[in-house]
Amino acid sequence: MHIQNKQHVSFLIGRTMSDNTTTATASIKSSKNSQNVLSSDAIDTATLLIKCRDQAGIVQAVSEFIHRYGANIITLDQYSTAYEGGQYFMRLEFALAGLSEIMDNFEASFGHTVAKRHNMAWRLHNNAIKTKVGILVSKFDHALLDLLWRHQRGLLDCEITSVVSNHEDLRQAVENFGITFHYVPVTKDNKAEAEEQIHILMAGNDLLVLARYMQILSSDFVKRWPMQVINIHHSFLPAFVGADPYRQAYEKGVKLIGATAHYVTAELDQGPIIEQDVHRVTHRQGVAELRAIGRDIERNVLARAVNWHVQNRVIVAGNKTVVFN
């Protein structure tokens, strides 16, 4: 069971909506912690994510509901897998003066009317509340330091709360950014205890990011964080699953290498893909050069995936994602 941040958000679904959820509601509380509240111009906006069977009247029903509250639609993106009987997805942002004060009433009313009538899986997020993110890392620092730099510069729409590592190597680098560092060693003998400690340390976060965390999380751990863990894998999945993909790529003689950011599931490197990118290479480049090139790709792919997640741009559909970027 994922331990939610009770002060801010209580969800019946995760930050992304997964296939095994047919209906969902969110109870969003006003934050008393100013560190988790954005600037005043964002307090009166919210993001609504919807997934349901495609049918006539969805856009009209949602728009009319929002209009009755006197809200203004800022952006609306939609996608359907088929014109009739397909799966329909919507991301909508709207603004409303005093929204935080009436959020509970708004979401309860939407759930009992529009969402119920159209059998929607949906989630409503108050944009005044920052997503809390915890990071797990081992020894490679490129993806971690890029995230911390972007966070420091205000380029990630989230609050990075802490970093957990199974090595001490990056403590000073993390603490230089003013972020708490936790050392949790992992061996084959203490894996279950280590994962329980990590779960406790990360409780209250909305998302975990594996920034080259070189440990395979158990299925028990993953079940407690459903579609709330993003991993960066250093290959263009589904190619080169598992360890040392750059060497695998070199030995295969590929002409493109890449990186993949995906949600973590119990099956290794098989979760829904959020973002990917590639770079052309030649026979002249060895494993070390491929790794150097790949680290640049990894940084950018992971940063985009995290930002899209915390901006509520990702909807999970089976083993795929719809990303309104």
Catalytic (active-site) positions: 269
Q: How far is CA 92 from CA 51, 87, 189, 232, 279, in A?
A: 12, 17, 47, 28, 34
**What are residue 193's phi and psi, to 5 degrees?**
-65, -40
Report the alpha-carbon distance of residue 28 to residue 160 in Å, rounded.
20
Report the alpha-carbon distance of residue 119 to residue 203 in Å, rounded.
31
Strand partners, 133: 160, 207
Report the alpha-carbon distance of residue 133 to residue 161 in Å, rounded.
6
What is the SS3 assignment for 106?
helix
Q: Name the one residue in this structure whose structure tokens are 């009319």.
A: 64
* DSSP annotation string for 48-76: EEEEEE--TTHHHHHHHHHHHTT-EEEEE
Q: Do residues 158 and 150 lie in contact, with contact meaning Cβ atoms separated by under 8 Å? A: no
Instruction: Give the 3-state secondary structure of 153-209.
Output: CCCCCEEEEEEEECCCCCHHHHHCCCCEEEECCCCCCCHHHHHHHHHHHHCCCCEEE
| Structure-token pair, residue 64 | 């009319």
Q: Name the one residue in this structure whose structure tokens are 């490679």.
A: 140
